[in-house]
Every structure is written in C-alpha cells, then in structure tokens.
Amino acid sequence: MIFVLWIVYLLTALPSVLDPTSPMTAFEGGAPPATFLGFLQPFGQMVFNTFTGNWGLTGAPGTGGRVLVPETQLYAYLIPESVQLALFALPTAAALAYPVSLIAGWSRRAAAETPAQMTTLGAALLPVFLLALLASGALFFYFLHQFNDVPGQGLMPSPTWFLFHGTPSWILYGSVSQPTGMPLVDSVIHEDWTIAAISFTKTLLQAMVIAVAYLAVFFRHARGAVRSVRDEPYMTGARARGVPERTLLWRHAARRVRPSFLLIFALTVPEYLLVQFAVETAFTDVAGLGYQTIEGVAEGIVDPVLVFLIALFVLSWILVVDVLAEKLVPAGASER
C-alpha cells in the first residue's frame, strides 16, 4: 500500500521538481526542496494522513463544491451506492459468464463456440460508455411512460422528478439517501415504494450493462481454463467409459474450473471496477464512487485516498478469493 502511495506521490511531485514554475501539486510554500530528505517529507506526511484517516475536507456530492464535508464522510456517502450497484452487477455477471464460458470452452463445435465468441468480441469492441448510452436511449421512453422519469441521473429519481414530486427528508443534497446510503434499501425502510421501484429498475439496468461489458473481459481467460480441463486424461478416460458429455461438463468440469474462475475474477477486479466506474459516469450517478473518480481524473486530480482505498479493496479481494479458491479445489485434483 505504501508503494501504491509512492507512485501517486511521484505523479504529483515530479512535475513540480522538473518544472519549478508549474503550479505546486505536492509542495506548499514555494519551490520544491533541494534535498532528497525534504522531497520525502511530504510523502511521509501523505502516508501518515492516509493511514490515520486525516483526509481533510472536500465538496459534498451534488453541491458543486459549495458544501464542504470531511473526506471520510464523503466516502461514506459514495461507497454505499456503488456497493448497491455491485450487489446487482456481480451476480448478473456471474450468471452470464459461468455457463457461457463453460459451454464455449467445452464444445468443439463451431456452432456452439462461434456465437459466444462473436457476442464477447462485440461487447469487447463496443466502448462501455457507448453501450451504456445505447441502453439508456433504448429504454428512455419506457422510463418516461412508467415513472415519468429518465433512466439516467444515478440510481434514484432525477432532480427534475424530485422538483415535481418533492424531495423526502431522508435524501441529502438531492442525491444521498439515509440511513444506509443505498437508495433501494433506504426507500424500502421509509416505505416509499415509488422511489424503490425507480431505484430497483435503474440499478438492474446499469447492472445488466456492467455484466455484458465485463463478460468480454472474463470470457477471454475463462475459456482457456475450461479447455485445459476438457483435455485432461481422466476426462478422456471417463468419456471412453461412456460417461455422458453433459455429466462431464456440469458435474466434473464445472467443479474443477470453479477455483480457476474465482481466481480469474479476482485478477480482473481492476477491469471490473473500471467497467462499473464508466457505467456510473455514463448514467450520471453523482452519488457513486465511480462518477466522482472519473470526474476527478478528467479534471487532472489524483486523490491519494481514493487510490489507497481502491488498491486496498483489490488486494484484500485477491487474498480472500485466493484462500477460498484453495478450499474449493477438489480432493486429489493436484495429484491428477
């Protein structure tokens, strides 16, 4: 984690060192220090502040920076909505990727493999942002007819909808729900079923876009894992003894590749986060972590706290999945 922060520090400090006339990004009160120790001192302060939660103040979502809140509170606002979206998107992605990868990797017939390849290739070539805009445009009139709202503007009704229907007291800054921060959960808690229906539909729509886009990333790695299991000697022997292909695929091969699938997912978590962040931005999810991240990058702002949190999540997730995958390896598989 310190190494990750060191990279962020270099990205912000080196421009000031190479060009002292440029705006200061890492140093305060004049030119960069002449000694290496002086160069390291701000980095040490960055590490200390990041690990101790002394993150300073920042603008609340949806206020354009007019309302300042502690940055710890900002992430308490942003993370829950992104978590709600991930809780929909991850199972949807798994439900699509698992059978598609198994069938396409197992089959030797072009009739079964080619459609899967074309689908994933199309999803890979189509930019995520464009895919999100196409989905939003396709369902625009449906949302307008059913909810008198538009499919964008985050996981809650749009500001225009609130303008005509009123903003409930449990929604802060027009985009942050209370008490959990998850719009769907909070609307159910407050028994506001109209907002709950809108939030559920918008979340499901964004989750489907994320799942289709991420399927292309996952499929490229997962198909190879299935093929390696398909051609193992014990599979060939079982096939020669007359074991049906369906049994070999869904009972034996599926169990063998499950740990590999988990590891592939763990290693592609950064790509998954990038896909979700792009979808949140395309749907203007102001209260989402992805939207705020992309907006910051577009403005040339590198937030070390955000990089720290993302790196911490990725490393922790890889560790957890690695341990879980080891537990799921069938007994005797390594001896085969």
pLDDT tens track for 46-68: 888 888 888 887 777 766 667 77
Residue 204 placed within a domain: yes
3-state secondary structure at position 68: strand
- Over residues 299-323, the mean pLDDT reads 83
Residue 222 placed within a domain: yes
Shared domain check, 120 and 22: no
Angle 274-279-285 (CA atoms, 0-180°, nearest 5)? 115
Peptide bond into 23 cis (omega under 30): no
Write out 117-130 in H/E/C secondary structure. Answer: HHHHHHHHHCCHHH
Look up residue 274 and give its two tokens: 């990038």
In the numeric block, the tokens 């160069």 are attached to: 39
One-character DSSP codes across 15-48: HHHH-TTSPPSS--SSSPPSSHHHHHHHHHHHHH
Residue 63 placed within a domain: no
Shared domain check, 32 and 144: no
Q: Can you say how many angstroms the Cα of residue 80 is from the centroid of all Cα atoms in its chain?
A: 13
Residue 30 placed within a domain: yes
Least confident among 66-75, 109-118, 269-278: 109-118
232 vs 164 pLDDT, higher one: 164
Shared domain check, 204 and 264: yes
- Over residues 309-335, the mean pLDDT reads 75
CA distance between the termini of the chain: 38
Alpha helix stretches (DSSP H) within 107-192: 110-125, 128-138, 140-147, 159-165, 183-189
Shared domain check, 284 and 140: yes
Q: What percent of the chain shows pLDDT beyond 90?
A: 15
Distance (Å, whole) CA 298 – CA 293: 9
- Long-range CB contacts (within 8 A, 24+) of 139-146: 139/205, 143/201, 146/201
Look up residue 227 and give its two tokens: 């093929």
Shared domain check, 29 and 101: no
Q: Could you tell me the CATH number of the domain that includes residue 87?
A: 1.10.3720
- Over residues 185-210, the mean pLDDT reads 93
Count how many domains the chain has. 2
Give the predicted TM-score (pTM) of the model. Answer: 0.79
pLDDT averaged over the chain? 80
The one-character DSSP state at 70 is E
Distance (Å, whole) CA 130 – CA 123: 11
pLDDT at 24: 46
Least confident among 9-18, 21-30, 274-283: 21-30
Name which of 195, 184, 55, 216 is nearest 120 in CA terms: 216
In the numeric block, the tokens 């993370």 are attached to: 79
User: For 132-181, how does the pLDDT look when each residue is reduced to its tens digit (9 = 90+)?
Assistant: 888 888 888 888 888 999 998 889 998 889 988 888 999 988 788 989 99
pLDDT at 193: 94
Residue 58 placed within a domain: no
Predicted confidence (pLDDT) at residue 74 exceeds the cutoff of 90: no
Shared domain check, 32 and 164: no
Please, which residues have CB within 8 angstroms of residue 161's CB and are 6 or more apart in sequence? Answer: 147, 148, 149, 198
Residue 61 placed within a domain: no
Predicted confidence (pLDDT) at residue 2 exceeds the cutoff of 90: no
Residue 336 placed within a domain: no
Shared domain check, 78 and 35: no
Name which of 115, 309, 228, 222 is nearest 296 in CA terms: 309
Grade residue 22 by pLDDT with cuts at 50, 70 and 90: low
Shared domain check, 13 and 159: no
Name which of 91, 171, 131, 156 is nearest 288 in CA terms: 156
- Over residues 197-217, the mean pLDDT reads 90
Residue 307 placed within a domain: yes
pLDDT at 64: 65
pLDDT at 77: 85
Q: Per DSSP, what are the bridge partners of residue 171?
A: 177
pLDDT at 136: 87
Please, which residues have CB within 8 angstroms of residue 274's CB and are 6 or more apart in sequence? Answer: none
Shared domain check, 221 and 158: yes
Task: Give me the domain span that covers residue 19.
Answer: 2-53
CB atoms within 10 A of CB 33: 14
Shared domain check, 176 and 231: yes
Look at strands 68-70 and 171-172 and give their pairing: unpaired
Look up residue 154 and give its two tokens: 């985050």
CB atoms within 10 A of CB 47: 17
Shared domain check, 138 and 75: yes
- Over residues 115-137, the mean pLDDT reads 73
3-state secondary structure at position 56: coil
Q: What percent of the chain shows pLDDT beyond 70?
A: 84
Shared domain check, 113 and 42: no
pLDDT at 207: 93
